Amino acid sequence: MDKLKVGILISGRGSNMAALVEAAGDPAFPAEIRCVLSNRPDAKGLEFARERGIPAILVDHKAHATKAEFEAAVTEALLAHEVDFVCLAGFMRIVSPAFIERWHNRLINIHPSLLPSYKGLHTHERALADGVKLTGCTVHFVRAEMDVGPIVAQAAVPVISGDTPDSLAARLLTAEHRLYPLALRLIAEGKAKVNGETVDIAPDAVDETARFFSAR
Average pLDDT of the segment spanning 45-62:
98
CA distance 30 to 23: 10
**CATH code for residues 110-216:** 3.40.50.170
Query: Rounded to the nearest 5°, which phi and psi values hold at 17?
Result: -60, -45
pLDDT at 213: 57
Q: What percent of the chain has pLDDT over 70?
A: 97
**pLDDT greater than 50 at residue 63:** yes
pLDDT tens digit sequence for 99-151: 999 999 999 999 999 999 999 999 999 999 999 999 999 999 999 999 999 99
Q: Are strands 198-201 and 107-111 parallel, antiparallel or unpaired?
A: unpaired
Provide the pLDDT for residue 212.
64
Look at domain 1-103 and name its CATH class: alpha beta
- Identify the active-site residue in 61, 64, 111, 140: 111
111 catalytic residue (yes or no): yes
> Confidence class of residue 214 from pLDDT cuts 50, 70 and 90?
very low
What's the confidence (pLDDT) of residue 209? 81
Report, as an integer, the average pLDDT of 27-42: 98
- Write down the pLDDT at residue 208: 82
157-188: pLDDT as tens digits = 999 999 999 999 999 999 999 999 999 999 99
Distance CA 92, CA 172 (A): 19
pLDDT at residue 42 in the model: 97
Mean pLDDT of the chain: 96
- Cβ atoms of 28 and 56 closer than 8 Å: no
Cα–Cα dist 4/157, whole Å: 29
Which residue from 153, 149, 107, 147 is spatially nearest to 6, judged by alpha carbons?
Answer: 107
User: Is residue 210 scored above 80 in pLDDT?
Assistant: no
- CATH code 3.40.50.170 region(s) in the chain: 1-103, 110-216
Instruction: Report which residue type is found at 4.
Output: L
